[in-house]
Amino acid sequence: MIALIMAGGVGTRFWPLSRTSKPKQFLNIASGRSMIQMTVDRLLPKIAMEDIYVVTGASQVALTQEHLPDMPRENIIVEPFGMNTAPCIALSASYLQRKYTPEDVMVVLPADHLIKDQEGFLASLDAGELAALEENLVTFGIQPNYPATGYGYIEGGAELHPGMFNVKQFKEKPDQQRAIEFLTSGNFYWNSGMFMWKIDTILAAFAAHLPQVMPVLDSINAAWDDQGFDADFAVPYAQMPKLPIDIGIMERAEKRVVIPVNYGWSDVGSWKALYDISETDDNNNVLQADVQCIDSSGCYVRADKAVALIGAKDMIVIDTPDALLVADMKQSEAVKKIVDSLKARKSTLI
C-alpha cells in the first residue's frame, strides 16, 4: 500500500497562527507534534516511510523536509502552485505510476486531520484495500454524531460487503433542517476527504471524466523524462481544471464505495473545532497561556504573554507577535473573511 498525503493548504481559519509561511499542517495545534507529523506517525505501523509521499507546493518543500527529515526527498511531489485536489491527485498518481505497478493501491489523506483511534483507522485501510482491488473508488465516510452543516455528506446505498456500501450520491453542505434529516436517516456520512484506489483506477477515472487532464500529464511526464523530477512544468500545470476531486471525479464516477468509520475524526477546521476536541477546565475553558479568569467560561486562549479575562463568554483569543484575534466562538468560521480582507489589502500579515 502507498500513502499520499496532501499538504498544500494554508489553513486560513487558523489565522493568525497559520500563515502562508507556516500553514496549519506544520503547526503543533493538537499535540506536541505537527499535524503532518501526526499523519505520518499514524501510517507508519502499516506503511513504510519509503512508501509514504507528500504532495505540496514548491513554497512548502523546505518545511516538509524540516518536519519529516526521514522522508526521502523523491517522496515529496511538488506542485508549482496550488490548484485543487483533483490536479494534485492526478499529478501524484502519474508520478507514482512511474515507480509502482498500476495494480498498487494508494490511500489519499489530508495532512491536517485528527484521528484518535489509530487501530480503527488502520483497520479501515484493510477494508478500503479490499474494495479498491475490485476497481472501486473508495471514500471513508465519518458516521455523524450531530447534524453538522459544515461538512459535505455521502449517501450510502446497497451493502456490497459487510460495512461497505455503494455511494448513491454526494451532497453539498446542508442547512440545519436537512442536516437533521441526514442524521436521522442513518445512511448519510460526513465526507472526510480521505480516499483509496488503485493507481490505474484513478488514472482511468481521470481519462473518462476529466479527459483534459491527460495531455497535461503527458506534458509533465515528458518534462520529467527530459529534466528529472525537478523539472519545471508550471506552464502545462496551469491548464489543469481547478476542481476538487469530489466534484471532478467522485460525483461523476460509477464504481464508488463508502466505508463508514467512527474513529474520533476531526478535520480541525477552525478554532472552534479545535476547542471542541480539547480538554477543558472546570469553567469549560481551554487556556494555553498564563491566564487569569474572572467570571469567564467557554473560552479558548492561546498566547505567549499573560492574559486576563473578565466576564468573557465563549470567546477565542489568539495572540501572536504581530497579530491578535478576538472572536466570538460561534463566528470562528469568519476568520477566513479576515484573511480574505488582508489579502485584498496586500497585507504582510498573511
Residues in the chain: 350
Q: Mean pLDDT in the chain?
A: 95
Spell out where the chain has E strands: 2-6, 52-57, 76-79, 105-110, 114-115, 137-142, 153-161, 164-171, 188-198, 256-261, 265-266, 286-288, 291-294, 300-302, 307-310, 315-320, 323-328
Q: Which residues of the chain form CATH 3.90.550.10?
A: 2-266
* Rounded distance between C-alpha atoms, residue 193 and residue 261, angstroms: 13
C-alpha cell of residue 201: 483506477
pLDDT bin (cut points 50, 70, 90) of residue 247 is very high
Residue 8's pLDDT is: 85
What is the percent of the chain with per-residue pLDDT over 90, rounded to a whole number? 90
138 three-state secondary structure: strand
Q: What is the CATH number assigned to the segment(s) 2-266?
A: 3.90.550.10
Cα maximum dimension of the chain: 66
* Rounded distance between C-alpha atoms, residue 96 and residue 85, angstroms: 16
* Rounded distance between C-alpha atoms, residue 257 and residue 138, angstroms: 5
Contact 250, 208 (CB under 8 A): no
pLDDT bin (cut points 50, 70, 90) of residue 20 is confident
pLDDT bin (cut points 50, 70, 90) of residue 138 is very high
